[in-house]
Structure 1
């Protein structure tokens, strides 16, 4: 809930960011049927809580998702080289699916991710959304990982 309030506070105090977007979505996460969002989809859970706490009607889109991750992929934080990050990003891109491209087409989408490591995950999601017709894709992160 605290992270959701931080995100909301940032967006409320920077209306120019929100004015640019039609939808705010979480970084897609792959969940097995028995897994809970609260435990295994941190970004989705933060956005879910933000929807509940939002007083201003920000354009959050959670269910049904605009983009889905269809399978598990390597985590960026487990990579140690540029080549590993590129391979992981390629796997992520291949695992992403836009179920209804008409819901994305022409829209400006902000993707929330909890930690920005190297930008590879956000880039893969942006490329998939753009390939499905999104007009613009912006990233919003809560934290920045230290450079290794």
Structure 2
């Protein structure tokens, strides 16, 4: 694809890459995969946490009875480390909006390379941030970018500004809190969400829920339970980064 042209600069040198504007999702995804830390093998088929051969995952959400399970699986583009961790922070806390485009490409590139996992997905929606979040609603920015980067409209993403899941009330943040506090914050977050489409649309649907970072899974678990209670049949997760976790 780049024969006779400059080589891609590599992640995280995206701002100076010759393909920053013209690059495709697949090009940027393939380039980033050369430097990002991949998800460990073997890993839990539910939460993507690394597990030792012959051992079971220690994440409590993976051992819940089926009636209490929210998501059926969560995949990750890469592990939460190094440059990826730094650039997620640049977008999330410093408002460096240019990274939303790159992350949108990484998500779409992952979808293109994992067509089997995308089979049967009816909606791809972001785990929303509060509508007044500052300096930026980073998840919404990433999802808007992903729609733009999906130039062939291969995936059921919503057009910019028309997010199917919104959060209009602010709730307590879970960062740097105890596990019990994180679970309480996750439940409050899920309770504050609204499905903006026709409620009939979600009945029997398979939803791919997108987020930036996955640690214990408490928040995605509660959001997935909320979506299933509204009528979704299956909720899967896709995150940019999986935090190594052994709790």
> What's the TM-score bracket when you normalise by the shorter of the two chains?
0.7 to 0.9
Task: List runs of 5+ in structure 2 lacking aligned partners.
Answer: 1-100
Let me know the Cα RMSD of the aligned residues: 1.9
In 2, the alpha carbon distance for the partners of 1:126 and 1:15 equals 22
Query: What's the counterpart of residue 128 of structure 2?
Result: 28
Q: How far is the alpha carbon of 1:98 from its aligned partner? A: 2.4
Q: Structure 1 length as normaliser, TM-score?
A: 0.86
Q: Is the 8 A contact 2:167 2:192 kept in 1?
A: yes
- Three-state SS of the structure 1 residue aligned to 2:175 is helix
- Three-state SS of the structure 1 residue aligned to 2:172 is coil
5 Å-filtered alignment, 1:67-78, equals 67-78=165-176
Query: What's the counterpart of residue 144 of structure 1?
Result: 242
Which of 87, 104, 113 does residue 4 from structure 1 map onto?
A: 104
The size of the alignment, in residue pairs, is 143
Q: Structure 2 length as normaliser, TM-score?
A: 0.54
Q: How far is the alpha carbon of 1:77 from its aligned partner? A: 2.0
Query: What's the counterpart of residue 16 of structure 1?
Result: 116
Query: What's the counterpart of residue 86 of structure 1?
Result: 183
Deviations 1:74-115 (A, max 9, x none): 223232x22111211221122122243212111110011001
Which of 45, 48, 52 does residue 141 from structure 2 map onto?
A: 45
1:128 aligns with 2:229: no
- Three-state SS of the structure 2 residue aligned to 1:47 is helix
Bigger fraction of residues in helix: 1
> Whose Rg is larger?
2
Query: What's the counterpart of residue 158 of structure 2?
Result: 61
The change in CA–CA distance for 1:56 and 1:17 in structure 2 (over 3 A counts) is farther
In 2, the alpha carbon distance for the partners of 1:41 and 1:17 equals 27
Q: How far is the alpha carbon of 1:146 from its aligned partner? A: 4.0
